[in-house]
Structure 1
């Protein structure tokens, strides 16, 4: 059996990539509010996921203000799919 992805083991990171898997991209503030974390906590998770090649970010303007947009990469989608498959295998025999 494959191993769990160490980049996705933190609950906030797993929630983050799961949220991003449902959209083409999301605004930093929306993600922060949905995860109920501070800017610095989200930035730290995004940095780690960015270094792994799981997310990409770009700056833009939304409603007249500068913002950061976040998207899950193809590599990130594959990692999430594999991670979820391992989780399902781990709990398959749980009554």
Structure 2
């Protein structure tokens, strides 16, 4: 089930940042680090594909939605002669992830789960 929500970056309800299990499952795999650190922490597409057990096309679509929402950045390049795609979380993405965790904790606390 897809639940559309306001974009954490703009706050507009028309932004399409679906809150799906695969996208939430992706978040812990992405490098979070210190939200104030401006260092370049990134993971390679192939690693995410294996870790999340998604097809390349499925993962690509999920990442595209998150990039369009301003939550992730994607960088394409080469490792030697092999094309690679690297994914990193943006400042807005780190905040959205922290907000999601806080909301889940509040839900657990409220219902004593």
Contact 2:31/2:43, CA 8 A, preserved across alignment = no
Q: Which has the higher helix share?
A: 1
- Any stretches of 5+ residues in structure 1 without a counterpart? none
TM-fit CA distance, 1:62: 2.3
Matching of residues 9-88 of structure 1 within 5 Å:
9-22=19-32, 24-62=41-79, 64-88=81-105
Aligned residue-pair number: 92
Contact 2:49/2:59, CA 8 A, preserved across alignment = yes
- Any stretches of 5+ residues in structure 2 without a counterpart? 6-16, 34-40
Higher relative contact order (CA 8 A, sep 6+): 1
User: Aligned partners of 1:56, 1:74: CA distance in 2, in Å?
Assistant: 10
